[in-house]
Amino acid sequence: MSLEQSLLVELLAENPFQPATSWWRSIELAVVIRHGMPEGRGLDLGCGDGKLMRILLAAHRANRELVGVDIDPLETRDALASGVYARVHTAPGERIPEPDRSFDFAFSNSVLEHIDAIDPVIAEVARLLHPGARFVFTVPGAHFHDCLRGPLAPWAQRTRYLETVDRRCAHRRYWSAAQWGDCLARHGMQVTTAREYLSEAQTRRWETLSRFTAGVLFSLMGERVHPIEIQRRLRLRKRALSLPRWLAKAVAAATAAGRGASASGQRFACLLVEARRS
């Protein structure tokens, strides 16, 4: 079983109601693992409920002293209960109650694209990192829209379709590596790595899965409700809701059937960026 397949099984076991997101994350976390998690004391910016970090550390076979931060109190409650973090803060990303230069690294997985005012958050990360410390994050990139197939109906407008996807995903920006580099440089961080991932074929697999799962729910709930709130209203985020591994493996096999492989020369939807604090 490949690393991506193994991660997909774990993600589906933990989140059986999110096959599309689990597909995306299985590819994403494999990229993070192969890139390598920094050592030392780390900040998990936008930690959510802690499930993803627990899977990431288990697959990476790594132990880290971690502090989690998220703005959602229900998510931080579960993150604290996960046992992954030494401490968890319910706080906005621009006001994290930790001392200056107190972290060896910061990590953020598919979070920064959701934040409206990004500069204050990047400035806060820079404040918390000591000189030479690393900031590793993943985000959708400049070609995210280009990688999508678009509406199924030939008469539907692609622009309107993309706007709906952005609302459903709560995406605020699709920056290139150069744009992230400019933003980070304003706050004393220099990009050392920018790696593309999630090929066009893989993105379209996510699109198909999400079209008939989260996309349907989003339409039924009125297209103004945040995805996490939809899951809560339907009681899908209960901690006891999980799949046994044998069933998760079967669902993973069906989800990944005919998996679109990455290939050189393709467009890619996402970026892994690493920056170093000056």
Q: Look at residue 258 in the predicted model and tell me its pLDDT.
A: 61
Rounded Cα gap, residues 243 and 12, in angstroms: 7
Amino acid at 2: S
Q: Look at residue 62 in the predicted model and tell me its pLDDT.
A: 72
Q: What is the mean pLDDT of residues 9-14?
A: 92
**pLDDT tens digits, residue range 231-245?**
556 555 555 567 787
Question: How many folded domains does the chain comprise?
Answer: 1
Q: Look at residue 255 in the predicted model and tell me its pLDDT.
A: 84
DSSP 8-state code for residue 132: E
Does residue 142 carry a pLDDT above 70? yes
pTM for this entry: 0.90
Q: List 108's β-bridge partners, or say none.
A: 137
| Distance of alpha carbon 43 from the chain centroid | 15
What CATH number is attached to the domain comprising 82?
A: 3.40.50.150
Which of the two residues, 223 and 42, has the higher pLDDT score?
Answer: 42
Residue 75 vs residues 25, 65, 78, 80, 218: alpha-carbon distances, Å: 18, 19, 5, 9, 21
Q: Look at residue 110 in the predicted model and tell me its pLDDT.
A: 97
Which of the two residues, 234 and 26, has the higher pLDDT score?
Answer: 26
Per the structure block, which two tokens stand in for 230?
A: 């939809």
Q: What is the mean pLDDT of residues 60-74?
A: 90
**pLDDT tens digits, residue range 194-223?**
999 999 999 999 999 998 875 555 555 555
Whats the size of the chain, residue-wise? 278
Residue span of the structural domain in which 179 resides: 3-277
What percentage of the chain carries pLDDT values higher than 90? 73
Q: What is the mean pLDDT of residues 68-73?
A: 97
Q: What is the DSSP string of 202-237?
A: HHHHHHHHHHTTHHHHHHHTTS-S-HHHHHHHTT--
Q: What is the mean pLDDT of residues 10-29?
A: 92
**pLDDT tens digits, residue range 80-125?**
999 999 999 999 999 999 999 999 999 999 999 999 999 999 999 9
